[in-house]
Amino acid sequence: MTDPVHHPEHYSAARFGCQCIEITRYMTFPAGNAVKYIWRHADKGNPVQDLEKALVYLQWAAEDWNEYRLPPIQAGAQLRIWGLEKLYLGSTRDIYLGMNYILHAQWAQAEDAIARRITELTTDCGMGKLL
């Protein structure tokens, strides 16, 4: 039996080797939420909506970066995100690039990568693979 409060299936460690919170807890709120929506986009039944929400949070993360220079992830926390490589390996190229750009505060590039994935999902040829 799964625990929907502490271990919801859509943030499961099964696919990526860690839970989403193990990465996002060390991130700023907007960057962490962008990662969360990207992470679960293939699992909750509406991938385009989740990726569109990720774009909104990416824009807010970029605003925070431009105004306050808040890094997307706390210094030294990269050592704790051991599962991210598994996320990359199980993803499409644009999801991989988007997550990598977020970790390096390259907001416009992250938005472009996620927008490309949305376009792919909303065309006839892109509906096959959700990751």
Q: Note down the domain range covering 100.
A: 14-125
Of all residues in the chain, the percent with pLDDT exceeding 90 is 27
Please check whether residue 118 lies inside any domain of the structure. Answer: yes
Please check whether residue 3 lies inside any domain of the structure. Answer: no
Residue 68: count other Cβ atoms within 10 Å of its Cβ.
9
- Contact of 128 with 87, CB cutoff 8 Å: no
Please check whether residue 2 lies inside any domain of the structure. Answer: no
Please check whether residue 130 lies inside any domain of the structure. Answer: no
Write down the pLDDT at residue 80.
47
Please check whether residue 33 lies inside any domain of the structure. Answer: yes
Residue 51 pLDDT > 90, yes or no?
yes
Please check whether residue 120 lies inside any domain of the structure. Answer: yes
SS3 27: strand
CA distance 23 to 26: 6
SS3 19: coil
Q: Report the domain count for the chain.
A: 1
pTM for this predicted structure: 0.73
Please check whether residue 131 lies inside any domain of the structure. Answer: no
